[in-house]
């Protein structure tokens, strides 16, 4: 991926301008690498997890439900992010895009609808914790239909690279991270002991 970037830059140099002593270059998109290779990223949206936060954190499509609903959040948002990123890298496609069907780009309502399609509706007690929950759910915890729920889907159907026990264990590994309720997600230490990562599949 980097070799391709350098080659294109040498062949067609990016537009630039000088501002004071600095040269500012126009952005050039990276070509996505083949499945399984790492993707460069940054920490521009990172927040410290030592205290519970309510600010937005993480790239849009990796946002955990508690971030989208403006709940107090901490380290479990990272577990959600890891789950979504593992799927991207291993499957070569994203679980969530958050792209609004009205063509307005990323919107929380579209992202939440995708999560509901994948995981089913969130627990009512969980919804009550969010400052923004009333925008998307009624008093009984039902979706307000601000955008249609995508056709029901599940991880088993979306996963296309594995079979048998390996697929079963991979799906369990993913589900241990992709949980509505942050307290139900595995911790990083628990994930390190997961059979999927340790090739203990029998």
pLDDT, tens only, 122-136: 999 999 999 999 999
Lowest average pLDDT, out of 63-77, 92-106, 164-178, goes to 92-106
Residue 58 has pLDDT above 80, yes or no: no
pLDDT interval class at 90 (50, 70, 90): confident
Is residue 28 within 8 Å of residue 9, measured between CB atoms? yes
pLDDT interval class at 84 (50, 70, 90): very high
Q: List where CATH 1.10.510.10 sits in the chain.
A: 51-198
pLDDT, tens only, 10-19: 998 888 888 8
Residue 45 has pLDDT above 70, yes or no: no
Evaluated on CA atoms 185, 191, 197, 202, the torsion sign reads negative
Residue 20 has pLDDT above 80, yes or no: yes
Average pLDDT of the chain is 86
pLDDT interval class at 47 (50, 70, 90): low
CA pair distance 118, 150, nearest whole angstrom: 9
Is residue 161 within 8 Å of residue 91, measured between CB atoms? yes
Name the residue with tokens 């205290």. 51
Is residue 77 within 8 Å of residue 58, measured between CB atoms? yes
CATH H superfamily, domain 51-198: Transferase(Phosphotransferase) domain 1 (1.10.510.10)
N-term to C-term CA, the chain: 36
Is residue 87 within 8 Å of residue 185, measured between CB atoms? no
Greater pLDDT, 8 or 127:
127
pLDDT at 127: 94
Length of the chain: 202
Greater pLDDT, 152 or 111:
111
What does the block give as tokens for 38? 């790492």
Is residue 23 within 8 Å of residue 33, measured between CB atoms? no
Q: What is the pTM of this model?
A: 0.75
Lowest average pLDDT, out of 50-54, 57-61, 168-172, goes to 50-54
């Amino acid at each position: 991926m980097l070799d391709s970037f350098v080659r294109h830059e040498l062949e067609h140099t990016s537009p630039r301008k000088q501002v004071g002593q600095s040269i500012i270059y126009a952005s050039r998109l990276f070509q996505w690498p083949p499945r399984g290779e790492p993707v460069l990223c940054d920490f521009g949206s990172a927040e410290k997890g030592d205290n519970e936060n309510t600010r937005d954190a993480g790239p849009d499509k990796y946002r955990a439900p508690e971030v989208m609903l403006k709940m107090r959040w901490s380290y479990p948002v990272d577990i959600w992010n890891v789950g979504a990123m593992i799927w991207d890298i291993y499957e070569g496609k994203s679980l969530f895009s958050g792209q609004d069907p009205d063509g307005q780009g990323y919107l929380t309502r579209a992202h939440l609808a995708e999560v509901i399609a994948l995981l089913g509706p969130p627990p009512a007690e969980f919804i009550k914790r969010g400052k923004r929950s009333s925008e998307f759910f009624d008093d009984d915890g039902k979706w307000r239909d601000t955008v249609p729920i995508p056709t029901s889907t599940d991880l088993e159907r979306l996963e296309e690279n594995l079979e048998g026990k390996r697929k079963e264990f991979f799906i369990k590994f993913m589900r241990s991270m992709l949980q509505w309720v942050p307290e139900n997600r595995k911790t990083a230490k628990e994930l390190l002991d997961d059979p999927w990562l340790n090739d203990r599949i029998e």
